Amino acid sequence: PGRTYFLNGSDTGTTPGFNIGTASVPHNFDPYTDFTIAFANTFIANSLGTLDGSGQASASFNMPAGFGEFAGLLFHHAYVLTSPFDFASNPVSLELVP
């Protein structure tokens, strides 16, 4: 509870992943990862925030119209806890459908 979390993603898979601090993030660092970092809390609402008193948080996608060219792509997301970076969640896959 009370820790800062950051949800980020990859479109190039889950292995080998990357390390930040002592956390092993279970997806690859790629341009989509940079995008999720640069645009935190925009198209993924609540992708950066503070865990509640129960140690939980919720994020959601806000995909604007006109992004149909991404249909069929597979993305992987995980969150990390910060200060220190010492925990990463399991990856969750998301396929965009038309």
pTM comes to 0.90
Torsion angle defined by CA atoms of residues 8, 9, 15 and 21, in that order, rounded to the nearest 10 degrees = -10
pLDDT of residue 72: 86
pLDDT of residue 85: 97
Mean pLDDT of the chain: 93
pLDDT of residue 96: 83
Where the chain has pLDDT below 50, the residues are none
Tokens for 49? 């925030």
- What is the sign of the dihedral through the CA atoms of 34, 55, 75 and 44? negative
pLDDT of residue 27: 97
> Cα separation of 4 and 42, whole Å?
17
